[in-house]
Amino acid sequence: GEKWVLSVTAQTPTNIAVIKYWGKRDEELILPINDSISVTLDPGHLCTTTSVAVSPSFTHDRIWLNGKEVSLSGGRFQNCLRELRSRATDFEDEKRGIKITKKDWEKLRVHIVSYNNFPTAAGLASSAAGLACLVFSLAKLMNVKEDYSKLSAIARQGSGSACRSLYGGFVKWIMGKEDNGSDSIAVQLADEKHWDDLVIIIAVVSSKQKETSSTSGMRDTVETSALIKHRAKEVVPKRIKEMEEAIAKRDFPSFARLACADSNQFHAVCLDTLPPIFYMNDTSHRIISCVEKWNRHEGSPQVAYTFDAGPNAVLISKDRKTATLLLQRLLFQFPPQSDADLNSYVIGDKTVLK
Ligand code: PMV
């Protein structure tokens, strides 16, 4: 019969860059101007859940994000869909009498339903989890038999940072050399068990949507900033090597110094853009001062901070005990108020102070 629906559900956590990706050398294929390194959060915390379904009764490709239907006409979704459809393979479920050939996949339409359990587009890398999850679940549905590195190259074409969310633990996105992007892929540097002392606390400074999208921000930066050239050529290659070493050795002081310096340089590059881009606000700056003071007082880094395209602080503490102290400090220095700028801390699976 033609009444069947075939579906797959997947969950993908977001990732936070500790060496940032900022700037494309190819906007269509999403090829970056430097390598980047990220940590993937534990599944279940900041993640996207996506269900994809296919049925002969569907007449159009459709997508619902957080309960609202949005247009699928954007080039990026279409690029991912096209790449996946071209790699779909035969599927058969004898019990249900479903048989889909490679050719059928070209004609069958899909429905996609996706939820984020955290603020969308507030600089918490929502697109990273979202596009990675979309590509992963569609690949499963369409019986795509490519390895993760190939899937990462497809997710990359949806959102650059998404390519790093297909793996857990520490992940490097290699910028690659090819013009067609075939070698611009993500690789896992270490799995999630490698350094599980680290505790990541996200201080949600504001859950408002960011004013400058990463796409237009990056474009402006690449076109107008002199600092970005220096960063991509002279600074990041060296930092990538040092960061890989710090991760391999679980060397927290080096890890923290590199992550903080790289976050600060990313925001300096934003300020060096015309028109200047301000992602951090006063609260973000106060959090940085607070962590810097603490680290200096202790004589070695206890906590690292990093900020993406928004004011929210991602704080990485060296162990659980330090994380507890960090929370106490945050609560003391940024007391919750009903109209507070900073109104929730996400700690693992618990959100306190909402
Ligand atoms: O993948 P995009 O277009 O959302 O860009 C992400 C850029 C940063 O989050 C600021 C840095 C990064 O490497 O994730």
User: What pLDDT digit, counting tens, does each position of 26-40 carry?
Assistant: 999 999 999 999 999
pTM: 0.93
Confidence at 212, pLDDT banded by 50, 70, 90: confident
With a threshold of 0.90, tell me whether the complex ipTM lies above it.
Answer: yes
Work out the percent of the chain whose per-residue pLDDT is above 90.
Answer: 79
Contacts 24+ apart (CB under 8 A), 123-126: 123/210, 123/279, 123/307, 123/308, 123/309, 123/310, 123/311, 123/312, 124/14, 124/46, 124/202, 124/204, 124/308, 124/310, 124/312, 125/14, 125/15, 125/16, 125/17, 125/161, 125/308, 126/14, 126/48
User: What pLDDT digit, counting tens, does each position of 77-115 carry?
Assistant: 999 999 999 999 999 999 999 999 999 999 999 999 999
Q: Which residues line ligand 1 (CB under 6 A)?
A: 17, 20-22, 36, 125, 127-128, 159-161, 214, 308-309
CA of 39 to the centre of ligand 1 (A): 13
Confidence at 325, pLDDT banded by 50, 70, 90: very high
pLDDT of residue 123: 53
Atom number, ligand 1, closest to the C-alpha of residue 161: 1
User: What pLDDT digit, counting tens, does each position of 246-262 carry?
Assistant: 999 999 999 999 999 99
CA of 214 to the centre of ligand 1 (A): 7
Question: Mutation test of ligand 1: which of 12, 16, 18, 22 has the most ligand atoms closer than 8 Å to its C-beta?
Answer: 22
More confident: 116 or 173: 173
